[in-house]
Amino acid sequence: MQTINCKGTLIDLVRPRVMGIINVTPDSFYDGGATTLEHQIIKQASQMLDQGATILDVGGYSSRPGATDISEEQEIDRVIPAIKAIIKAFPKALISIDSFRSNVVKQAVKAGACIANDISAGKLDPKMIETIGDLQIPYCMMHMRGTPQTMKSLTDYKNITKEVLFYFSERVAAARAHNINDVIIDPGFGFAKTTHQNFELLNHLELFESLDIPLLAGVSRKSMVYKTLDITPKQALNGTTALHMVALQKGARILRVHDVQPAIECIKLFEQLDKPVSN
């Protein structure tokens, strides 16, 4: 299935799409604190939409390794005003709520969000999958072990690709059992995975096409880029773009990014690879 239904709008994923990251957190690994005020949020949303983002992913809980745990109330206080401000400024914007808490998702959908992006695929909140089924919105499920606070120590895999594939077969079955029609899977680069494991997963990404479910790749400025290159996250755009092309060639339909314009350019170049040669 290569379409998702967002508030009655069908998004065709035959052409890869870009999901722009809007972190309304003070402690995200790359841009923490840069978009906590309403005018900053509106400015970033405007820029991302102008540059071609199809979806804006709003998150209020930093999921970087070892991030501080915050309460549900704190998370709601961060994301709901942001979503309302974006919808007021851009009524047609398609907003994803990046949260593993079902009540946060419910409140976000009331405020105008139309997609849920859950780093735990329902593992951290037993009510999540049932909630998504009731809301009838697209559900992006990511692979992770443990929590953001514990995941760094949970990297013991015998065959990471097979284990992540099995994880999704079980999680997708749970979603289907709750009548969730539109599912997206995210292998979870950087979540409970070593740098080597991240690259192993990327190298076998085409195997996930066997699930016949749209695939999201989230490698933007992550440690697999900056640690490999011995640089900082702020210097990791070029490396990110290189891995975006690999992900697209191996079947990714959505790129979740901090930098929309370079990702759009990458997609445009990727699309040229399939064009027939003219005489």
Digit-coded pLDDT (tens) for 94-106: 999 999 999 999 9
Residue 68's pLDDT band (cuts 50, 70, 90): confident
pLDDT at 29 over 90: no
Q: Are 256 and 48 in contact (CB under 8 A)?
A: no
Q: How far is CA 60 from the centre of its chain?
A: 14
User: Of 246, 204, 250, 249, nearest to 225 (Cα)?
Assistant: 246
Q: Quote the mean pLDDT of the chain.
A: 93
Model pLDDT, residue 274: 76
CA-based nearest residue to 185, from 166, 157, 158: 166
* pTM assigned to the model: 0.94
Domains and CATH numbers, the chain: 3-272 (3.20.20.20)
Residue 12 has pLDDT above 60, yes or no: yes
- Could you give the percent of the chain with pLDDT greater than 70? 94
Asked whether residue 28 carries a pLDDT value surpassing 60, the answer given is no
pLDDT at 244 over 80: yes
CA distance 247 to 204: 10
pLDDT for 27: 58
CB burial class (10 A; 0-12, 13-18, 19+) of residue 243? buried
Q: How far apart are CA 72 and CA 61, in angstroms?
A: 9
Confidence of residue 31 (pLDDT cuts 50, 70, 90): low
Q: What is the pLDDT of residues 139-180, one digit of tens each?
A: 999 999 988 888 888 899 999 999 999 999 999 999 999 999
CA distance 262 to 275: 21
What are the Cα distances from residue 246, in Å, to 34, 235, 256? 29, 19, 14
- Residues taking part in catalysis: 222, 256
DSSP letter string over the chain? --EEEETTEEEE-SS-EEEEEEE--S--TTTTTTT-SHHHHHHHHHHHHHHT-SEEEEE-S--STTPPP--HHHHHHHHHHHHHHHHHH-TT--EEEE-S-HHHHHHHHHHT--EEEETTTTSS-TTHHHHHHHHT--EEEE--SS-TTTGGG----SSHHHHHHHHHHHHHHHHHHTT---EEEE--TTSS--HHHHHHHHHTGGGGGGG-S-BEE--TT-HHHHHHHT--GGG-HHHHHHHHHHHHHTT--EEEES-HHHHHHHHHHHHHTTSPPP-
83 has a pLDDT exceeding 90: yes
